[in-house]
Structure 1
Amino acid sequence: MAGSSLQGGPAALSGKRQQFGSRFLNDPARVFHHNAWDNVEWSEEQAAAAERKVQENSIQRVCQEKQVDYEVNAHKYWNDFYKIHENGFFKDRHWLFTEFPELAPSPEQNYLKDVLLESKKSEGPGLETEQHKCSSDCLGHTTQMPPVEENVTQKFSHLEVCAHEFPGSSATYRILEVGCGVGNTVFPILQTNNDPGLFVYCCDFSSTAIELVQTNADYDPSRCFAFVHDLCDEEQSYPMPWNSLDIIILIFVLSAIVPDKMQKAITRLSRLLRPGGMMLLRDYGRYDMAQLRFKKGQCLSGNFYVRGDGTRVYFFTQDELDTLFTTAGLEKVQNLVDRRLQVNRGKQLTMYRVWIQCKYRKPLLCNTS
């Protein structure tokens, strides 16, 4: 068993607000009284059985020729996926604001924005500017640094405010969702968060998915910018400069790329965050029901599989994700396992889901060069 990857439940939350809901199965006889139970504890026998199942379905690997095809034609498989399912496959994720309150406006966010604005006003035309060496993503912009004041510099001494025009450049709070699909996270954010300073970016590997976002009746170009992007392509530029985002969201997307490319992708994304900015993740955990259901011959590499439609998925441990984020220079705020029991009361079936939720922050005092 993968040790800490399956530790969870109420005790693991250190007395803080219960995540993922608060419906606990204390009496096994009541299992079919509800559709789902939260933070379900696994017995040693159940964990051992899950590990055996994974070992069995991982023995036979996909041949190398096929593995190359799944990588080279990944965009085709995802485009086909969205052409088939379009808007009918996913539901809007209104649980987002319970688990990720950072996506909703808060007094703290407004206070910090007011501090910056007042600082700029008081400095007037003499606001110090410095030209810095830009990456290819930065497009040669000029940065403006907040004035040196004791009550501001502790939080913002390295915060860069880009003068270069880019989509959302006038916004005061910027969110990027990577792997946005058809907008089931983006649109609830835009509908719920009416902050006039909010701007939401969203990108996906699939051009079909982005087309569905852009043609959605709720898509507002004045508040949102959707674009096609390959998370693993180091040569492809982002439309916003480094150090410009407050939040980056990754929901069931990191698991879709080759494990060997994950670290560079996360490190590159971390450079887009402002000091103090946060990366939010929710993804598949080791021994999730979906992993146990794979048949022999669908395994690409350890804990990495291909589905019948050609799309791929990886199943994480907490430690793996912690290493990815901390290696990118981010600090842990949250790293939790959500082990949920879902039931089909009509068929009297039980299904165990394992998801991991993470929040990692870019240090306030960092080297932005």
Structure 2
Amino acid sequence: MSLSKRETLSCDASATQLEEPKEEMSSCVFGQTKTSTAKVLSQEELEQLNGERALVSEFKQMKLEKEAQKNWDLFYKRNTTNFFKDRHWTTREFEELKACREFESQRLVLLEAGCGVGNCIFPLLEDDLSIFVYACDFSPRAVEFVKQNPVYCPERCSAFQCDLTKDDLTENVPADSVDVVTLIFVLSAVHPDKMKLVLENIRKVLKPGGIILFRDYGLYDHAMLRFKSGSKLGENFYVRQDGTRSYFFSKEFLAELFEETGFQSVANDYVLRETVNKKEGLCVPRVFLQSKFTKPGQSQSS
């Protein structure tokens, strides 16, 4: 997915240095397991989480919300296309990208909601010649990087800037036209109060029977436990040093969010993995949430 997207693990690194794609760039992955239960915290980790009760001021929270697009645009200005590694594992992790076809050459229409600079979509376009991709991102700069990529071809990909919380997707994507939506490390960057708006927007363009492939930060991920005092915005919601924000999902919260927006759960599991940063010699326990939801109704191909 856009396991799109998004290691340096120095002792004073901000949590923005601990996101999933950097883990791919750093190193070795030692095992990956799926589980239906949340990670069990040690006593030290519990004390660390419980000790952070003070929230960022309401004034600063409003400022962060207002400047969210600017902060992500600055992120891509600083890092250009070098920050995330291409995600060639997407088709392995989400077999629906191939399995949902009735025949191998069937044209598949995909929307990547939150495409970043295209680390997910370009491997897909190269691997699958029978796919058309709509790709949108909050950051205008990220969208420009997508369009400048030599693999970008308007006949096979349509990239556009979009604030998923308020810009109507049907202005760029026909209603009920998308087979698969990838929502990878994207929803965590949205204020929890606006997450339903994103899903309602996506629902407009997804076909009946279409599927959303979701992957994002799970509850008690290592990055969540490393936030310093003064970073907490709300329950499981934090701000990084660069002003970008991240929410850490429980499977219960995610299931309720999708079900209240009219989707049905197909799969919803924690993914636990350990990675080693070879440069720093650190073992990092990661927790992601990998899920699949469908829009009720019979697909046209059924």
Q: Same fold (TM over 0.5)?
A: yes
Deviation (angstroms), 1:61: 1.4
Which residue of structure 1 aligns with residue 156 of structure 2?
A: 223
Residue 173 and residue 363 in structure 1: after superposition, are their counterparts in 2 closer, same or farther (change >3 A)? same
Q: CA RMSD in A?
A: 2.4
Matched residue type, 1:343: V
On the 8 A contact 1:255/1:284 being kept in 2, the answer is yes
SS of 2:153's equivalent?
coil
Which residue of structure 2 aligns with residue 109 of structure 1?
A: 102
Which residue of structure 2 aligns with residue 39 of structure 1?
A: 33
On the 8 A contact 2:114/2:183 being kept in 1, the answer is yes
Deviation (angstroms), 1:220: 0.7
* 1:258 lines up with 2:251 in the alignment: no
Residue 242 and residue 70 in structure 1: after superposition, are their counterparts in 2 closer, same or farther (change >3 A)? same
Query: Which of 331, 350, 369 is matched with 2:264 structurally?
Result: 331
Which residue of structure 2 aligns with residue 314 of structure 1?
A: 247
Residues of 1 paired with 2:100 and 2:178: CA distance? 19
Residue 36 and residue 224 in structure 1: after superposition, are their counterparts in 2 closer, same or farther (change >3 A)? same
Residues of 2 paired with 1:44 and 1:284: CA distance? 12
Matched residue type, 1:335: N
In structure 2, the gaps of 5 or more residues are: 1-27
SS of 2:288's equivalent?
strand
On the 8 A contact 2:165/2:201 being kept in 1, the answer is no
Residues of 1 paired with 2:90 and 2:108: CA distance? 17
Residue 40 and residue 331 in structure 1: after superposition, are their counterparts in 2 closer, same or farther (change >3 A)? closer
Report 1:209-288 matches (<5 A).
Answer: 209-233=142-166, 237-288=170-221
Residues of 2 paired with 1:250 and 1:44: CA distance? 23
Matched residue type, 2:51: E
Q: Give a deviation string over 1:198-221, Cα, whole Å, max 9, x none.
A: 210000000000000000111011
SS of 1:38's equivalent?
strand
Deviation (angstroms), 1:50: 3.2
Which residue of structure 1 aligns with residue 111 of structure 2?
A: 176
SS of 2:103's equivalent?
helix
* 1:89 lines up with 2:83 in the alignment: yes
Residues of 2 paired with 1:236 and 1:201: CA distance? 10
Deviation (angstroms), 1:344: 3.5
Matched residue type, 2:124: I
Which residue of structure 1 aligns with residue 295 of structure 2?
A: 362
Larger relative contact order (Cα-Cα within 8 Å, sequence gap ≥ 6): 2
SS of 2:102's equivalent?
helix
In structure 1, the gaps of 5 or more residues are: 1-33, 114-171
Of Structure 1 and Structure 2, the greater strand share is in: 2
Q: Give a deviation string over 1:219-253, Cα, whole Å, max 9, x none.
A: 01110000000011155754122211101110000
Residues of 1 paired with 2:295 and 2:34: CA distance? 32
Deviation (angstroms), 1:363: 1.8
Which residue of structure 2 aligns with residue 118 of structure 1?
A: none
Q: Give a deviation string over 1:250-284, Cα, whole Å, max 9, x none.
A: 00000001000111211221221111100110000
Report 1:1-150 matches (<5 A).
Answer: 35-39=29-33, 46-57=41-52, 59-104=53-98, 106=99, 108-110=101-103
Report 1:179-190 matches (<5 A).
Answer: 179-190=114-125
Deviation (angstroms), 1:53: 2.2
Count of residues in correspondence between the two structures: 271
Larger radius of gyration: 1
Residues of 1 paired with 2:43 and 2:154: CA distance? 50
Matched residue type, 1:356: L
Q: TM-score, normalised by structure 1?
A: 0.68
